[in-house]
Amino acid sequence: MRSLLLILFSATAVLGQGTILWDESVNGGFSHDFGNPTSLTPFQLGTNTIIGMTEVVPTPPNWAGYPDFFTMSVPSNMRVSAIFLTLDKQNVWTWIGNTGFSSETAFVGNPTSGELLVEWGLSSIGSGNYGMYLDNHDHQAVTSVANYRLDFFVQTIPEPSTFALALAGATMLVVWRRKKRP
């Protein structure tokens, strides 16, 4: 049993390697146009990181916002099981939905740094194509820049046969131990 747990732990540690999908300081800014969002490469197993910033500029009597719009793809047999958000400002809106930005899956108007899926009220995000945006709404008398980091943790979805095999192995182990007792 310990050997099985050690093998499973080792496999998950290997899958936890990180990939930076986009870093605005290296790759340039995200699109500010929902009609032409930045397209990211498909997620890989492990952690997929996006590093960016969104700003709002005072243009009296209003403000001009520059949200980051991007699309992402979760491959089949995978799911996003956690999204960790780090923000250095409040009042940043986060939205996820379809790639046309017309159908919302989840939204939160003032998330805190931490697990974004929980704040969205979601347990995971399944395979498919999604659009997402972050938009700074910290309306000040001067330009407000909100820096953020998103860490998407992607896992494989085990096939039902994997669960059946694990259950059969556990059952055989229990039966073997019971037979071995005097």
CATH of residue 160's domain is 2.60.120.380
Average pLDDT (33-62) is: 97
Range of the domain at 33: 18-180
Where does the pLDDT of residue 175 fall: very low under 50, low under 70, confident under 90, or very high at 90 and above?
confident
Q: Please choose, from the candidates 50, 90, 91, 89, the residue with its C-alpha nearest in 3D space to the C-alpha of residue 68.
A: 50
Q: Please choose, from the candidates 77, 72, 66, 33, the residue with its C-alpha nearest in 3D space to the C-alpha of residue 49.
A: 72
Where does the pLDDT of residue 164 fall: very low under 50, low under 70, confident under 90, or very high at 90 and above?
low
Asked whether residue 126 carries a pLDDT value surpassing 70, the answer given is yes
Q: Domains in the chain: how many in total? A: 1
| Residue 5, in any domain of the structure | no
Retrieve residue 102's tokens. Answer: 């017309």
| Residue 1, in any domain of the structure | no
| Residue 118, in any domain of the structure | yes
Average pLDDT, the chain: 88
Residue type, 165: L
Q: Please choose, from the candidates 144, 149, 150, the residue with its C-alpha nearest in 3D space to the C-alpha of residue 66.
A: 144
| Residue 3, in any domain of the structure | no
Where does the pLDDT of residue 64 fall: very low under 50, low under 70, confident under 90, or very high at 90 and above?
very high
| Residue 12, in any domain of the structure | no
What pLDDT was estimated at residue 171? Answer: 79
First and final C-alpha spacing in the chain: 21
| Residue 116, in any domain of the structure | yes
> Containing H/E element for 174?
helix 160-180
Asked whether residue 6 carries a pLDDT value surpassing 50, the answer given is no
